[in-house]
Structure 1
Amino acid sequence: MLARLAIGVVPAAFLGALVNATLPGSVVLLALAALTLFVGVQQLRPRAVREARDELGTAALVAVGAFVGFGSALTGTGGPVLLVPVLLTLGVAPLRAVAVSQAVQLPVVVAGSVGYLQTGLVDVRLGTALGCLAALGVAAGAVVATRIPAEGLRRIVALACIAAGVFLVVRAAV
């Protein structure tokens, strides 16, 4: 799954970084807010019980990868903010969606960073410090996520999306 996502992620993340440099910040924030609020609300809606999907087709994964790569680099979210909700919506099990989204961050970050380096917007010291701290958080989160039931994890993701969406709307208004 990861390799096929990366096929779409890499070029789209590079492009998203370049496009971001041309847009007003409020436009990017509001677009991300709308998306995260929509996905969060969708994930809270009652669902018919169905078996989780382990795999998606190649075309679907490349398309999802392109969407996530572009959107992540455009908004600076790194991947999981967009990928987890999309995979959940497509029926992927919550823990698998979270795990795949963590792994797909690497190609998103590399391709997006190369794009941003070309714009001169990268603060390498700050990025390195935050990256090291984020790695600790990811390791702790992975341990916790494996101990939460799938439905609980889906709800946590939904509420996190809603909270992030509200935060972004407020931030765009300031």
Structure 2
Amino acid sequence: MTGTEALAWAVIALAGAAIGATSIGGVLVVPALSSLLGVPLPEAIAASSLAFLVTGAYALTGKASGALAHLQRDAPLMLTALLGAGAGAALAAWAPGDAVRGWIGLLALASGAHALWRLHRPYPRADHPWPGLGGQIALGLGVGLGSALSGTGGPVMLLPILMLMRRPLSRAIVAAQVIQLPIAVAASGAHALAGRLDWRLGATIAVALLLGAWAGRRLARRANPRPLQAATAAVLLATGAWFLLA
């Protein structure tokens, strides 16, 4: 393994740790695959989408345990995320590479800025009710489309949006974890049908993310996760700037 390859897998493991500790960080996977390992962007997005199916299932064993039954009332959000992710996966295949790269860069920058904001400010007070039918449909379609287009799982988009909208935090965290499943299923299925999915690569990424998520969850429970959050924010900002300017 070369130094560049080791760096790529270290970044992917960091993404998993950030997911386990803070629910964000998944946007680092595709840049690591495409820029450090030389995986073509459509194939990197496809493999990343498959890997998030595993992290989504793992999330249900933690803070989101029992969430599927709890979120039956949020079926519009989950179902429209499924539809949006299918559309996003199809769009990722034929959209100009520079446009997809730019979207991933912007998402990384926004995620890094959000992580820094959370370091220095408390969670905003939830003074607005949970989105109704129309709001859930709009959120599901937008988050599903944007996540599949970037090869991310969903929390990196949904959680900051719900926090900025001042929705109930505990429910927002659960929803952000659970939404990984419909997004990953739809995106992976679309990529597989189109012949873009490298199952072996996706499984390898899933293992790296899972190990990182396990370590990140333990860190969040037993120690101060702020150093990991700060490191993740710095890497996200650097990755976003690199993808936009390189």
Given the two structures, how large is their TM-score scaled by the length of structure 1?
A: 0.76
Q: Per-residue deviation at 1:20?
A: 0.5
Q: Per-residue deviation at 1:37?
A: 2.9
CA distance in 2, matches of 1:159, 1:65: 29
Q: Per-residue deviation at 1:50?
A: 2.9
Q: Per-residue deviation at 1:120?
A: 1.7
Equivalent of residue 72 in structure 1, options 127, 147, 154: 147
Q: Per-residue deviation at 1:24?
A: 2.7
Q: Which residue of 2 aligns with 1:55?
A: 130
- 8 Å contact kept, 2:92–2:149: yes
> What are the ranges of 5 or more consecutive residues in structure 1 without an aligned counterpart?
none
Q: What amino acid sits opposite 1:56 in the alignment?
A: P
Q: Per-residue deviation at 1:142?
A: 4.3
Given the two structures, how large is their TM-score scaled by the length of structure 2?
A: 0.56
Please provide the CA RMSD for this pair.
3.4
CA distance in 2, matches of 1:9, 1:49: 25
Equivalent of residue 18 in structure 1, options 90, 96, 117: 90
- 8 Å contact kept, 1:13–1:70: yes
Pick closer, same or farther for the CA change 1:159–1:30 going to 2, 3 Å.
farther
Amino-acid identity (%): 31
Superposition map of 1:1-174 within 5 A: 1=71, 2-38=74-110, 41=113, 44=117, 50-51=125-126, 55-94=130-169, 96-142=171-217, 144-145=219-220, 156=229, 160=232, 163-174=235-246
Q: What amino acid sits opposite 1:166 in the alignment?
A: A
Secondary structure (helix, strand or coil) at the match of 1:21 reads helix
CA distance in 1, matches of 2:165, 2:211: 29
Q: What amino acid sits opposite 2:208 in the alignment?
A: L
- 8 Å contact kept, 2:86–2:186: yes
Q: How many residues align?
A: 170
> What are the ranges of 5 or more consecutive residues in structure 2 without an aligned counterpart?
1-70
Q: Which residue of 1 aligns with 2:66?
A: none
- 8 Å contact kept, 2:81–2:145: yes
